Amino acid sequence: MNNAIRELDISIACMLDEPTKITIKDLEHIQKQVDLLVVEEENKKNQIDITWCVDDIRFLGYECTDEEGMKVLKLVEEDHDCEYGINWATLDNACESFNLKLKSDDNIHKVNDDFIRKEVDHG
């Protein structure tokens, strides 16, 4: 059983512990959600997902809130071209289109539109 279904089971159990009425319609809705989760889990056996997150934007050196970062990621998703995919340059261009500011970091330098990161000695 995957985590999403387990969480749904816990949610249902919590609902039942409280004095509340669950209708047949509620149960049908829950069953549809469970069925969708099962199908989604089955589909994952034949596909891969590549995930980009707000922290990737910050890794590039941009300062942003989670909300600002999600706006950038939504733009990247909407403009996604399957011939080229999504890469660091794609993310960088989207950040620039939202006028996100680069934080001053001695380890990140932008030269000729490319990011060059100094190696940091962690030891």
Domain that holds residue 92: 54-117
HEC secondary structure over 56-98: HHHHCCEECCHHHHHHHHHHHHHCCCCCCCCCHHHHHHHHHHC
Same domain, 17 and 41: yes
108 shares a domain with 75: yes
The predicted pLDDT at position 119 comes to 45
| pLDDT one-digit tens code per residue, 62-75 | 999 999 999 999 99
User: Domain for residue 123, yes or no?
Assistant: no
Cα distances (angstroms) measured from residue 2 to each of 9, 35, 38, 39, 49: 11, 12, 9, 12, 17
Task: Based on the fold, state whether residues 42 and 58 are members of the same structural domain.
Answer: no
Average pLDDT over residues 13-28: 70
Q: What is the mean pLDDT of the chain?
A: 79
Residue 85, in any domain of the structure: yes
pTM of the predicted structure, to 2 decimals: 0.54
The CA-atom distances, in angstroms, between 85 and each of 49, 82, 99 are 12, 5, 22
* 122 lies in some domain: no
63 within 8 A of 105, measured Cβ to Cβ = no
User: What domain count does the chain have?
Assistant: 2
Is 40 within a domain?
yes
* Contact present, 22 and 13 (Cβ < 8 Å): no
Please report which confidence band the pLDDT of residue 114 belongs to, taking 50, 70 and 90 as the band edges.
low
Are 47 and 55 in contact, with CB atoms under 8 Å apart?
no
